[in-house]
Chains A and B, each alone.
Chain A
Amino acid sequence: MLWLLALLPAATGALLLASGVQRRGTLALIAGLGLAATLALVPVAVVAGWTGRLQWSGTLALQAALTPLSALVAALVPAVALPVLVYAAYRERATGLVRLLGLLLLFCGAMELLVIADDLLTLLIGWEVVGACSWALIAHHWREAENPRSARYAFVMTRFGDTGLFLAAMSAYAGSGSFAYADLARLDAPHLAVVAFGVVLSAASKSGQIPFSPWLFRAMAGPVSVSALLHAATMVAAGAYLLARLQPWLAPVSGFGFAVMAIGSATALAGGVVALLQSDVKKVLAASTSAHFGLMFVAVGAGFPGVAVLHLVAHGFFKALLFLCAGVAIDQSGGHALSAMRLGRTLPAVAVMAAIGAASLAGLPPLGGAWTKDAIVAATAGAGLGWSGALIVAGGLSAAYAVRWVWLAFGLGQASPPDKQVSLPTPTQAMAAAASLGWLAAASVLLSALWLPAVREHLASTLSTTLPPESSALMGAAVGAVALGAFTGRWLAVSKPTLGQGERIAAVADWWGLPALIDLTVVAPMAALARASAWADDTVIDAMPRAVKRAGQWLAHASARIDDTALDAMPGTARSASQWLAARLAKEDGRVVDRGVGLTTAFVGWLGRATSGIGELVADGVASGPAQLVSLGGQDAQRLQTGLSHHAFTALLLGTLALGAVLFAIRL
């Protein structure tokens, strides 16, 4: 049943894609309803104690379960997605809008799956789908050549990090024969260490921590709503969430806490500086996202996953708000440059809401974001003052760039005329944007309740986490740093509006040259390797198919030649031979055959005549021959009749002698 949390948004997205609806209002309605339903299901699932179990095969089973913390995050996802989708439905470009919304909803489903996962296999499924959706969404406006490149960059970098998760899953399976989180406790130290550091690697890459931060900058090529949902509130949150979820089992691993804290604090400081120096309205927020997730990492490393999750929730709301305000600003100004904005007078309502978001980002009390940040600082108290000091500095930086950003973007000043033609939003669109922003701003404001101890304790008990003990000194230092930062930021915004546009500072602003470093160390060798492999494939490996192809071609040519010369010659020669033969035969027919026919005719005629003659002779002879013979015999016999008596006597004597001889013979 728990799978519903993941299936519902995905189904809504599929429905959206299949429905063929084009009207923004309908789209917003459908998406909103789906997400609202999902959001409503979360407390139901918690109360009813839903779990999910899918027997994949004989040995593998997919499990889903909700811990209090994961339930909170599971509720965060649709809560943030709803206004973002409404904004997207109304404010994004019409081309490919349905695809955008469908993919966003699919992403929500995958994110939910990731959140409700109770074993590494289900987590991996959700993790991968989320990464794929990120790639598709960053390259949403794919007709602009840079967007697919950026999407590929982001996807490859996060994918690289995913190897850590695969290693962790394999190690967990090898160690305990199961992927379930609960079975992580059965792992022995080596396996657990592999699991732990694999998880750290993938979390760091997913959350845009050092050294994986540049991909978040490249991800800013996507639409504003994508940036707001994925790269601010939810996807990048998956890293921090995973760490928070698995922290109870991974904490025993030596070096786990230190590594996480180190990564987190480094990112927080570096990201803060980068954000301070950035001049792109979205990139400031991207750097800020990395910095804040660094803070969450520190909290997890310090052993307080609950604090990290709380900050994750607060951050989600105000960062999404800020991104949507940035979107409005971009739409208004026609570009991304902060220096060209100052839309306070043009967009007063938006400016107010942006101010709320920025204050939350800066950590200005009494907003909720402030408390969570201070809680993180307090969490590091047990780990060491060095960590606390770093975090305090990071908090100050955060305040600085937040104020600077809002002052530059929505400050009261003279807005530069837009560089290109901008289409001002329709009243409906403005209203939709206002609604979304309003919702998020309201949520951010509501989170100020965290300052109340009662709420805090209730929350702690419900979430079954421990909150760090408060430290007034640290809090005072943090607040002081925040105030200092805020003033610095305002000063920077007013005095040095073009900060970050110089060449060297621009390099720093681009993540301290990390992209260049990555290009040098990773991208270039990989590209070279790819080229070499391609060359090897083309020349060496393809040599055989090419040779086969050449042989085949040669054979084909040879056969064609043979066919043309010999075989076709055969019909040709046969034809010419038959023609010659026919001519000769015709000639010979005239000579030989006709003469033969003539001869035959003559012969047959002669034969006929001869046979007729012979026939006549024979026929007549047969008839008349005996008659003639008889007459001849009779004539000869007549000669005996001479009439002379002595002849008669002789005849008598001969007859008597014959008779006597017969009698004599008989007597004998």
Chain B
Amino acid sequence: MTLQALLIVASALIGLGLYGVLSQQSFVMLMMGFELILNGVLLMTMAFWSFGSAGAPKGQLLAILVMAVMALEMAIGFALVTAVYRQRQADTTEALDTLKH
């Protein structure tokens, strides 16, 4: 368990999550893609705290903040999805094209 290994694993998670963001039509799946990305970021943060900062408390704080961002993004995102669904019955990204020129 070296830092590089951790980071590479995290990079894999980020890659997967990016794939999910770009490829999923459903909002929820798209959100899951975001979750995966943030998962990878969380892992990177903890890896750096564990191997790079000699246990500085700010590292963990950053991890907590990343988790907070995850919650925020999830809450607002699902609220918006709900609102959009209520307005337009849209549950996929293709259904939302009102911003089209």
Contact = CB atoms under 8 A, between A and B. Distances in A.
Contacts of B21: 646, 649
A646 B100 contact: no
B53 interface: no
A649 B22 CA distance: 7
Nearest to B94: A644
Nearest to A634: B101
Contacts of A642: 97, 99-100
B99 A641 contact: yes
A638 interface: yes
Interface string B74-101: 0000000000000000000110111111
Contacts, number: 34
Interface in A623-668: 638-639, 641-646, 649-650, 653
Nearest to B33: A649
A643 B99 contact: yes
A297 to B, nearest CB: 167
B7 interface: no
Nearest to B25: A646
B93 A646 contact: yes
A643 B100 contact: yes
A197 B21 CA distance: 171
Contact of A644 (B23, B24, B96, B101): B96
Contacts of B96: 643-645
A643 B22 contact: no
Contacts of B22: 646, 649-650, 653
A644 B18 contact: no
- Size bracket, chain B contacts: 10 to 19
Nearest to A648: B99
B79 to A, nearest CB: 16
Interface in A210-248: none
Interface in A594-641: 638-639, 641
A639 B98 CA distance: 13
A650 B24 CA distance: 12
A638 B101 contact: yes
- Size bracket, chain A contacts: 10 to 19
Dominant secondary structure at the A interface: helix
A21 B43 CA distance: 169
A645 B93 contact: yes
B97 to A, nearest CB: 4
Contacts of B30: 645-646
B18 A641 contact: no
Interface-central residue, A649, A650, A653, by most chain B CB under 10 Å:
A649
A563 B23 CA distance: 111
Interface in A43-61: none
Contacts of A653: 18, 22
A197 B67 CA distance: 181
Contact of B93 (A639, A641, A644): A644
Contacts of A645: 30, 93, 96
B98 A643 contact: yes
Contacts of A649: 21-22
Contacts of B18: 653
Contacts of B93: 644-646
A638 B101 CA distance: 6
Interface-central residue, B93, B94, B96, by most chain A CB under 10 Å:
B93
Contacts of A650: 22
Contacts of A646: 21-25, 30, 93
Contacts of B25: 646
A641 B25 CA distance: 17
A195 B93 CA distance: 169
Interface string B7-28: 0000000000010011111000
Contacts of A643: 96-101
Contacts of A641: 99-101
A645 B98 CA distance: 11
B44 to A, nearest CB: 15
Nearest to B100: A643
Nearest to B23: A646
Contacts of B24: 646
B89 to A, nearest CB: 16
A573 to B, nearest CB: 89
A654 to B, nearest CB: 10
A646 B23 CA distance: 7
Contacts of B98: 643
Contacts of B101: 638-639, 641, 643
Nearest to B27: A645
Nearest to A656: B18
A643 B21 CA distance: 16
Contacts of B94: 644
A643 B93 CA distance: 9
Nearest to B99: A643
Contacts of B97: 642-644
A643 B90 CA distance: 13
Contacts of B23: 646
B32 to A, nearest CB: 14
Nearest to A646: B93
A641 B96 CA distance: 12
B85 to A, nearest CB: 14
Interface-central residue, B21, B23, B30, B98, by most chain A CB under 10 Å:
B21
A653 B23 CA distance: 13
Contacts of A638: 101
Given A644-B93, A645-B93, A646-B23, 4 more contacts: A641-B99, A642-B100, A645-B30, A646-B22
30 contacts: A639-B101, A641-B100, A641-B101, A642-B97, A642-B99, A643-B96, A643-B97, A643-B98, A643-B99, A643-B100, A643-B101, A644-B93, A644-B94, A644-B97, A644-B100, A645-B30, A645-B93, A645-B96, A646-B21, A646-B22, A646-B23, A646-B24, A646-B25, A646-B30, A646-B93, A649-B21, A649-B22, A650-B22, A653-B18, A653-B22
Q: Which 6 A-B pairs have the closest CB atoms?
A: A643-B99, A643-B100, A643-B97, A638-B101, A641-B101, A645-B93
